Amino acid sequence: MAIETRGKDRADVETAVGPPARDVPSRRPLVAILTQGGPNPEIVVNALKTRFPDLVVIVEQPESKALFVRRRARKLGWLQALGQLATMIVSKFGKRFTAARAAEILRDYDADATVDPAVRRLSVGSANDPEFAALVRDLKPAVLMAVSCRMLKTETLAAMPCPVLNLHAGINPQYRGLQGGYWSRVMDDEENFGATVHLVDAGVDTGGVLYQTRVKPSPRDTMHTYPLLQTAAATAIVVSAVKDAVEGRLAPRPVDGPSRQWYHPAIWTWFRHGFSRGIW
């Protein structure tokens, strides 16, 4: 069953487990998270670790900026690719001015972005390397949750022995891809500012929707805090989706609406909406 939450609502996601059958050894379900690291994925790790003690975090290495630009240029052209790279570089300097708002978000949603050294962590070069597929097969998780990682290739997905879910910082299908919160504001569509947990397929955030949550951004939020807000507000639906996967009752639902893939705004687009409309 799909649920939707708004704002700071919380869902009761505790798992009720009956006693194991007599003389049959019980095994706690192993849950794996794939990520490139960072505060937002750690929020997810900390939300899941108490419900699923056998949590394993698989950390892949980020791809280089050069590879990012070349791939984006093949799709959108060099002008757009370099404009998007400029936004990513310049926007990093703004993070120092949003620390207070970030701390406020964590407090409001009772979210924890610290790294827990007690959580088991494994490293791979890339999730699309054969070693990653072999690692997942050895771990035999009940579910793999992808958060802030590279897109998985078709052959990688085919090798997964379990459902693969993704926490996407945007409402699908309207805001697939990158910076879904930012673009919902630019499009005067704050009703669709939120996050989606969905099944992963070969497309860009095109897999079946499991849960969605919508939240109202503050005028103080910017591109630096949108993903943090979306992630913090989505912890309940992440737990619910993982619980469904562990219990074998995933139920994707059809979602109406236009489908569009978005990218980082080019530097000139970011400046234009920032200076003229206060959307940064």
Q: 174-212, pLDDT tens digit by residue?
A: 999 999 999 999 999 999 999 999 999 999 999 999 999
Please name every residue paired with 165 in a beta bridge, in sequence order, or none if there are none: 145, 199
Q: What tens digit of pLDDT does each residue of 36-90 get?
A: 999 999 999 999 999 999 999 999 999 888 998 999 999 999 999 999 999 999 8
**How buried is residue 188: exposed, middle or buried, by Cβ count under 10 Å (0-12/13-18/19+)?**
exposed
CA distance 106 to 85: 28
Q: What band does 13 get if pLDDT is binned at 50, 70 and 90?
A: very low
Q: What is the pTM of this model?
A: 0.87
The interaxial angle of helices 235-246 and 226-233, nearest 10 deg, is 50
To the nearest 10 degrees (0 to 180), the angle between helices 65-76 and 78-91 is 140
Is residue 258 within 8 A of residue 155, CB to CB? The reply is no
Please give the structure tokens belonging to residue 72: 């984006």
Classify 45 as helix, strand or coil.
helix
At residue 14 the predicted structure's pLDDT band, cuts being 50, 70 and 90, is very low
Reported as a single tens digit per residue, the pLDDT across 107-165 is 999 999 999 999 999 999 999 999 999 999 999 999 999 999 999 999 999 999 999 99
- What angle do helix axes 226-233 and 39-49 make, rounded to 10 degrees? 10
* Angle between the N-to-C axes of helices 267-277 and 78-91, in degrees from 0 to 180, rounded to the nearest 10: 50
All domains in the chain, ordered by first residue: 28-277 (3.40.50.12230)
Q: How are beta strands 176-177 and 31-35 bridged, if at all?
A: unpaired
Q: Residue 149 phi/psi, 5° resolution?
A: -140, 175
Pairing of strands 194-199, 261-262: unpaired
Query: Residue 77, class by beta-carbon neighbours within 10 Å (0-12 exposed, 13-18 middle, 19+ buried)?
Result: exposed
Task: With cut-offs at 50, 70 and 90, classify the pLDDT of residue 27.
Answer: low
